[in-house]
Amino acid sequence: MSYKKPESVLVVLFDKHHRVLILQRQDDANFWQSVTGALEAGEQPIDAAYREVAEETGLILSPDACPIEDCACINRYEIRPRWQHRYPPGTTHNTEHVFRACIDSRLPLQLTEHLHAEWVSKDEALTRLWSPSNREAVAKFVGVPQ
């Protein structure tokens, strides 16, 4: 088995009306989140952010047409016990790099890793997102000038 690296990206996607894209996980229907995923070997966080957005939503963003912005925020959190088997033995914490991008909410999504996607108000996102670090990122980085 190949273990995940305990370093990941969180990419908060929102539109010009400050509505936030939230995604419902396949393995836990009560877990709503933004785009997130582990860095691959040798990958830089910004590259992982672009890759994860493409993999999870089908949206191909680019630095020229639709840039992903580094929020200069890094979180460290405890990995849920039910997911610790995905990481090297003894790994209990993950380091998360936070990014954001303002995108057109009319673009069609192609979900590959989630059951459902919804565009919701910032307030609704703050009540439905499972992860505290995800809620903090939405609170801090959605609705402020880029």
Task: Please give the distance of CA 25 from its chain centroid, rounded to a whole number.
Answer: 12
On whether 36 is known to bind a ligand per the annotation, the reply is yes
On whether 80 is known to bind a ligand per the annotation, the reply is no
On whether 43 is known to bind a ligand per the annotation, the reply is no
On whether 91 is known to bind a ligand per the annotation, the reply is no
Is residue 122 a contact partner of residue 138, using CB atoms and an 8 Å limit?
yes
On whether 56 is known to bind a ligand per the annotation, the reply is yes
Angle at 99 between CA 94 and CA 100, to 5 degrees: 145
On whether 4 is known to bind a ligand per the annotation, the reply is yes
On whether 131 is known to bind a ligand per the annotation, the reply is yes
3-state SS, residue 50? helix
Residue in 93, 129, 95 with CA at minimum distance from that of residue 21: 129
Q: For 25-44, b where at least 16 C-beta lie within 10 A, e where not — what string?
A: beeeeebbbbbbbbbeeeee
Angle at 86 between CA 88 and CA 114, to 5 degrees: 150
Q: Could you tell me which residues are annotated as the binding site for substrate?
A: 4, 25, 36, 131
Q: Could you tell me which residues are annotated as the binding site?
A: 4, 25, 36, 52, 56, 113, 131
Q: Could you tell me which residues are annotated as the binding site for Mg(2+)?
A: 52, 56, 113
